[in-house]
């Protein structure tokens, strides 16, 4: 029933939105790796995004989607590029109440048997 409700008002995540969410997630990981490993990342490109599943659900009383699939990742370093093919992904996306913006939700598990704490990031 939730799928019908979300689908009928046209609020399904698009490929472009999913790509932006993955990029946001990668940027956070890249910053952490750059600091820990003292690497000079020059950026990355996401290519051949393929969505294999969009599952509607509710997170903190708002409609959300778990989106899965894969993509090709090109990591840009100062003297070379690394290509990683068919990288799997899983992102959680939530439409905000006004229906105009989407947020990337990242779950943080505090304990084995506890509900996750959701961190929310605006997707621009």
Domain extents in the chain: 2-122
Has residue 8 got a pLDDT over 60?
no
- Measured CA to CA, the distance from residue 120 to residue 102 in angstroms comes to 10
b/e per residue 26-43 (b: at least 16 CB within 10 A)? beeebeeeeeeeeeebee
Reported as a pLDDT band with limits 50, 70 and 90, residue 10 is low
Residue scoring higher pLDDT (109 or 21): 21
In this predicted structure, which of 35-44, 87-96, 113-122 has the lowest mean pLDDT? 35-44
- Compute the chain's Rg from CA coordinates: 16
Has residue 6 got a pLDDT over 60?
no
Among 51, 54, 61, 64, which residue's Cα sits nearest to residue 103? Answer: 64
Has residue 3 got a pLDDT over 50?
no
pLDDT single digits (tens) 35-90: 776 777 788 899 999 999 999 999 988 889 999 999 999 988 888 888 999 999 99
- Measured CA to CA, the distance from residue 89 to residue 1 in angstroms comes to 26
- Measured CA to CA, the distance from residue 32 to residue 114 in angstroms comes to 26
pLDDT single digits (tens) 76-90: 888 888 899 999 999
């Amino acid at each position: 029933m939730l799928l019908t409700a979300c689908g009928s008002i046209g609020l399904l995540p698009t490929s472009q939105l999913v790509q932006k969410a993955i990029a946001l997630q990668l940027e956070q990981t890249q910053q952490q790796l750059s600091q820990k490993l003292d690497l000079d990342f020059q950026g990355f490109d996401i290519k051949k995004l393929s969505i294999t599943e969009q599952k509607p659900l509710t997170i903190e009383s708002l409609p959300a989607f778990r989106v899965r699939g894969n993509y090709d990742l090109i990591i840009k370093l100062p003297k070379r590029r690394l290509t990683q093919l068919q990288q799997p992904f899983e992102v959680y996306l939530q439409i905000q109440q006004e229906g105009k913006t989407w947020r990337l939700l990242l779950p943080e598990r505090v304990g084995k048997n506890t509900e996750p704490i959701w961190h929310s990031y605006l997707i621009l």
